[in-house]
C-alpha cells in the first residue's frame, strides 16, 4: 500500500493544542455561555467548568502551541531517515505565520500526512489561521477542490479501508504493527495541564515530535518497508 507515493514528497505533521485560557473563569462571559451550549450533550454529569480541561479539542475554544513536521530522507545508498522541525510558542499567530511561510516555500507536489489529520489537524490549523487572518498556503487550500484533488493523506483513514464506524488510535496501530515507541511522561489529555500549570512547552514539543516519528514509521509499515532506525531521526532546531 502507498507504493505509488514518493516518500520524498510526503510531509508528516502533528499538532498539540490547549484551551485558550488557563482556567474556565478566565473566559469572557459570552464564551462561557457558548462553551456550555457547545458541550451540553457530551459533558454527562460534569459541569461546563469541569469539562473545560478538554477545550483544546475545539478550534473555537483552543489554540495551537506546537506543530511538528517531518520529512523522509532517502538518499541513494544511505539508510532511510527522518528530519523533524517544530514550530512552537505562546504566540499562536506568530507560530502559524512561521509554519505558513515554511509550507509556502515547499513544492506543490508535497503531500501533507497526519493521523486523523482530515478530522483534526488540517481543519484545526485552517480554522486558527482564518481566525488570525493568515492566508492559507497552497497546500491547505481546499475550497473548490474535489476530494481527490486535495494533497492530504490520513493514516487513520487509510486503515479504515472504507469503514467509517470507528476511530483507531495511533497508539493501537503502532502496537499491532510492532512499532516501538518510547514511554512518554505525558499523554494527549495532559497537554493542557503541562502547558498552563507546569509551563513546560519543551515537553509538549518532544511529545509532538514522537507522534510525527510514530506516524512516519506507520507509513513505512503500510508500504511493507523496514522502520527508520533511531539514530537516523534528526531534530532540526
Region of poorest pLDDT, from 4-8, 62-66, 125-129: 4-8
- Phi and psi for 226 in degrees, rounded to 5? -70, 155
Sign of CA dihedral 172, 173, 178, 181: negative
Q: Is 74's pLDDT higher than 90?
A: no
Region of poorest pLDDT, from 90-104, 170-184, 208-222: 170-184
Pairing mode of beta strands 10-19, 233-236: unpaired
Which residue in the block uniquely carries the three cell numbers 515547499?
106
C-alpha 115/C-alpha 12 separation (Å) is 9
Q: Write down the pTM of the prediction.
A: 0.94
C-alpha 166/C-alpha 168 separation (Å) is 6
Q: Is 77's pLDDT higher than 70?
A: no
| Nearest alpha carbon to residue 111 among 203, 219, 39, 17 | 219
- Average pLDDT along the chain: 93
Express each pLDDT in 147-203 by its tens digit: 777 889 999 999 999 887 778 999 999 999 999 887 677 888 899 999 999 999 999
pLDDT value of residue 157:
94
Q: Which fold has domain 7-20+61-236?
A: Nucleotidyltransferase; domain 5 (3.30.420)
Amino acid at each position: 500500500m502507498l507504493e505509488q507515493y514518493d516518500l520524498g514528497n510526503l510531509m508528516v505533521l502533528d499538532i498539540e493544542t490547549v484551551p485558550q485560557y488557563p482556567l474556565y473563569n478566565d473566559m469572557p462571559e459570552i464564551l462561557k455561555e457558548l462553551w456550555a451550549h457547545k458541550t451540553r450533550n457530551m459533558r454527562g454529569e460534569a459541569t461546563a467548568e469541569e469539562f473545560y480541561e478538554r477545550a483544546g479539542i475545539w478550534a473555537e475554544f483552543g489554540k495551537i502551541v506546537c506543530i511538528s513536521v517531518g520529512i523522509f530522507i532517502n538518499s541513494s545508498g544511505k539508510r532511510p531517515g527522518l528530519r523533524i522541525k517544530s514550530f512552537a510558542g505562546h504566540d499562536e499567530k506568530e507560530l502559524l505565520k512561521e509554519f505558513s511561510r515554511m509550507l509556502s516555500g515547499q513544492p506543490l507536489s508535497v503531500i501533507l500526512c497526519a493521523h486523523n489529520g482530515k478530522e483534526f489537524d488540517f481543519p484545526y490549523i485552517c480554522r486558527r489561521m482564518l481566525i488570525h487572518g493568515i492566508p492559507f498556503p497552497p497546500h491547505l487550500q481546499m475550497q473548490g477542490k474535489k476530494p481527490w484533488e486535495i494533497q492530504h493523506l490520513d493514516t487513520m483513514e487509510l486503515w479504515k479501508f472504507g469503514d467509517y464506524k470507528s476511530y483507531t488510535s495511533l497508539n493501537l496501530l503502532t502496537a499491532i504493527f510492532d512499532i516501538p515507541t518510547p514511554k512518554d511522561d505525558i499523554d494527549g489529555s495532559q497537554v493542557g495541564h503541562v502547558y498552563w500549570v507546569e509551563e513546560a512547552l519543551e515537553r509538549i514539543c518532544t511529545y509532538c515530535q514522537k507522534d510525527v516519528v510514530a506516524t512516519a514509521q506507520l507509513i513505512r509499515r503500510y508500504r511493507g518497508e523496514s522502520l527508520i532506525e533511531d539514530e537516523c531521526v534528526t531534530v532540526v532546531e
